[in-house]
Structure 1
């Protein structure tokens, strides 16, 4: 069903104004953020906002075209305006003054001036924050300060056929750069420190999420050599609400799993995890396997693989009520850095397959002098290089040469010449860094 001209006009109106907190911010309002919401006044000067508004006008026109095309293609005439309304929930922060000087960053690809996303890979730093304030306090317990719990480098290939997520261990010992923070100060550089200290240093020095997440982003660039386009931050409550919006995540639990610290108690068998159960699984460490963060990252990847498979298999994009619930949940507690065009990126990924979404932990191992800490292994350089070059992060294995006359050899004593299929992958099983799974490996039933 094609959208009428009046629907397209109402779509344009929805794109240039967005409701937030009961108020309507018109395009060009001096306090309006890139998503239509207000930016923190202490993180941006008015001259920067006026300059950003000029850029937004061009971006909105591009988004009108993209989303209108989606309406025509999907035959859901009201969906686009609802998508934009949900994306207006996202908090965008201006980090232009916080990123490292251009000459010290990996080179940026030359974009198409008409569509900056076209034909270019996208790299985003995904951060799960260990925020213990507000609703998050009731989930994880009260604790002062702000920490990053999980960090992944998300790579979307230029042809939009692959999505790859590489986990970075929080206990990884690496150089931490000096980071510029809100207010103009800088953090102290370290030749060797835990990776997740970049987030807390930015928070302590700048006092805001923009400083913390940007310091993590700049640290990822320094250790990987991969140019990143921005960051996305989600907290405990946001992840839990997202899962509940999908009516849970179907998953096979291969054995009883119990961890009192995260309140995880699951019996072996088929489960549809609620938001609270999924979050407990993502946080669980002490009562599972050897209690290490290494294997916890693998379980987090397995959970995200199941979540991704569920979204794709349920056709959320074409089920309007599910789409509204999921987008509202996914965006209400999401913070992104300015310039990340989620609308265009989401539209361009509408046809990605579950087997093209890959998860792995950057190759690493225990630090010889302190087994409680982690260092990069030699294989990590190849993974970073593949991401930077927009090549599959897991190289395709060469096809085995055919066995001569294998198809004509008759069975002997009931044996068969057809090789038995490999046993199904158990994504929740312990995996070493560098061992990958895809969303297609997620087991909804045992």
Structure 2
């Protein structure tokens, strides 16, 4: 039904077929253990309706074809951006948890499409993707090894995955007319091809990609991947804000345009169809920006290598909360306000007090800003002030 609402009864099949054809789909079911299984009869619009969804989002640093023209040629394939997107079962809450690529984690033995099986090891998180690509030679092996690594280290079940490349990211940004952002200080990175003046800017596709990729340069930070994560979160939050403000999820033509751009350079699992996407979008159409949270999994410098990080015990709590489908950071119970009635008067009336001199109004408190990448924040929160 959601697809019919979005595409119209007459054009639903043609539009859905076109958009499905845009995506590269790979079947990882034989290489991932365990695979999620439905416990109820699936809803054709949202097969996971009534169930929480965990989606693994990977940013591909693939350098061939159009992507080589954008980012320059390089051998192999890496995944430098990784997020777990959790959608609550009641579709009222979305959480995106960034995983630093330099996280030291247990990488399980991974089986490839060619039958080869790698040895289990302990290393950087993003080496799981490279291990699959280098030994299996395809996206299926790379994605499956990454999913297995996420599941082993988090205890989560990954329902679906999406890999976005350079070209696809640019197309998504351009499809919504660019991304308005506050740039508090001028930013310049020759390596990333980024040059931004301070102030409010609307980033087009190429500029947004450069902003997301930049690690070193003027106004960018300490050059670490963990610092870059904050900029990536702010950018995606701004994109979400723009999608919500432009009613992309509720306007059929806008949603079709966005999905057409978004699916142009996506690789996903065979279970993720346009019908699934539109069903999820339709069920999330009324979500409040304050219920869309971004955070980085809690980490500290690794004891074995100061250039790497390891997850803290707080990370275990985050993953456990997501697995239980409760807010990732937990909720402190709010004590009900108790009003005590004043005692009955037993004394004589008090003489009126002379009026007090007027007091100058207090200046409003400065806007509280959240440090993206270091603190959790929502789409409605302020992360920069211009």
TM-score range, shorter chain: 0.7 to 0.9
- Work out which of the residue numbers 135, 158, 162 in structure 2 matches 1:228: 158
* 8 Å Cα contact 2:372-2:383 kept in structure 1: no
Q: Distance in 2 between matches of 1:320 and 1:358?
A: 26
Q: TM-score, normalised by structure 2?
A: 0.86
* 8 Å Cα contact 1:250-1:444 kept in structure 2: no
1:165 is aligned to 2:96: yes
1:343 counterpart residue number? 278
Indicate the RMSD between aligned Cα atoms, in angstroms: 2.7
Q: Deviations over 1:383-409 (max 9, x none)?
A: 00011000011223454887999xxxx
* 8 Å Cα contact 1:165-1:358 kept in structure 2: yes
Cα gap change, 1:355/1:117 in structure 2, threshold over 3 Å: closer, same or farther? same
1:67 is aligned to 2:3: yes
1:86 counterpart residue number? 19
Instruction: Give the secondary-structure state (helix, strand or coil) at the position aligned to 2:287.
Output: coil
* 8 Å Cα contact 1:305-1:442 kept in structure 2: no
1:271 counterpart residue number? 201
2:112 counterpart residue number? 181
Of the two, which has the highest radius of gyration? 2
Q: Distance in 2 between matches of 1:79 and 1:270?
A: 40
Cα offset for 1:320? 4.8
Cα offset for 1:319? 4.1
1:330 counterpart residue number? 262
- Work out which of the residue numbers 204, 213, 225 in structure 2 matches 1:283: 213
1:120 counterpart residue number? 51
Q: Distance in 1 between matches of 2:9 and 2:62?
A: 38
1:140 counterpart residue number? 71
Cα gap change, 1:343/1:326 in structure 2, threshold over 3 Å: closer, same or farther? closer
5 Å matches for 1:22-421? 65-70=1-6, 80-81=12-13, 84=16, 85-100=18-33, 102=34, 108=36, 110-115=38-43, 116-190=47-121, 192-287=122-217, 288-340=220-272, 341-399=276-334, 414=359, 420=364
Cα gap change, 1:403/1:128 in structure 2, threshold over 3 Å: closer, same or farther? same
Q: Distance in 2 between matches of 1:395 and 1:117?
A: 23
* 8 Å Cα contact 2:369-2:384 kept in structure 1: no
Higher helix share: 1
Q: Distance in 1 between matches of 2:311 and 2:280?
A: 31
2:378 counterpart residue number? 438
Unaligned runs of 5+ in 2: 341-354
Deviates more, 1:159-168 or 1:364-373: 364-373
Cα offset for 1:342? 2.5
Instruction: Give the secondary-structure state (helix, strand or coil) at the position aligned to 1:88.
Output: helix
Q: Distance in 1 between matches of 2:317 and 2:150?
A: 15
* 8 Å Cα contact 1:117-1:344 kept in structure 2: no
Q: Distance in 2 between matches of 1:251 and 1:272?
A: 6
Q: TM-score, normalised by structure 1?
A: 0.75
2:352 counterpart residue number? none
Cα offset for 1:362? 0.2
Deviates more, 1:396-405 or 1:126-135: 396-405
Aligned residue pair count? 363
Q: Could you say which structure has the greater relative contact order, defined with CA pairs below 8 angstroms and 6 or more residues apart?
A: 2
